[in-house]
Amino acid sequence: MPDRSRPPAEGPQLATFGAGCFWCVEAVLEQLDGVESVDSGYMGGDVPEPTYEQVCSGRTGHAEVVQVRFDPERIPYEHLLEWFWKLHDPTTLDRQGNDVGTQYRSVIFYHSEQQRRAAEASKQAQAANFSDPIVTEITAAGPYYSGEDYHQDYYRQNKSQSYCRYVIAPKLDKLGLEQ
C-alpha cells in the first residue's frame, strides 16, 4: 500500500535495477501490478551507445539493467525493492549463477534522493536476511541505453530457449509468478 504520508507522486516514475541477466529481472518485474513497462538495457559505464557484445566483454563498465516505469500509487518504490532482493543473490560480487562479470553486478541506480534513501534503508534492513554481506551498489542513475530489440520481453518471446527453461522458468516458479 502506498505511503500516504508522502505527497502524491506526479505520474509514472522510473526505477533501474541490475541483478544479473536482464532477461531474468524483466521476466519477474513485468508481472507486478503497477509496473507499466520494463525495458532491458545498460547503465553505469563509460561507453556511449554500447552494444550487447561490448557490454558482455566486461570492458565498458556497464551493467545489464532493467528500467522500470511504474505507477507509485499502485506499487511503491519500496515494494519494487522488496522484489529486487528476492529475485537474485545480492551477496555474490559480479555474478549471478553462471553469469559472471561486472555486467552482472547487483546494483540499484536511483533517480531521486527519495529513492536513494529508500534503497539504503532497504539494503540495511535486508542485511539480516543473508548470511554473507550484501555487495549491492547503490549509485545515481546515469545515461540509460536501451538494449537491442531482441532483448526486449525476451522470456515471453523465447520460452523454449534453454536459458529460459532452465534458469528463468524455475526462478518464476520459485517466486510464485506465471511462467
CATH number at residue 67: 3.30.1060.10
Does the residue 144 lie in any domain? yes
CA 84 to chain centre: 6
User: pLDDT tens digits, residue range 18-59?
Assistant: 999 999 999 999 999 999 999 999 999 999 999 999 999 999
Instruction: Provide the percentage of residues in the chain whose pLDDT is more than 70.
Output: 95
Domain of 37, in residue numbers: 13-174
Residue 8 lies in a domain: no
Residue 42's nearest CA partner among 99, 109, 112, 120 is 109
Kindly report the pTM of this predicted structure.
Answer: 0.93
Rounded distance, CA 142 to CA 144, Å? Answer: 6
Q: Is residue 35 part of a domain?
A: yes
Confidence grade of residue 3 (pLDDT, cut at 50, 70, 90) = very low
Cβ proximity of 137 and 105 under 8 Å = yes
Q: Is residue 86 part of a domain?
A: yes
Q: Is the pLDDT of residue 10 over 80?
A: no
Give the residue carrying C-alpha cell 516514475.
Answer: 13
Catalytic member of 21, 24, 56, 164: 21
Residue 170 has pLDDT above 90, yes or no: yes
Active site residue 56: no
Q: Sign (positive/negative) of CA torsion 97, 123, 34, 16? A: negative
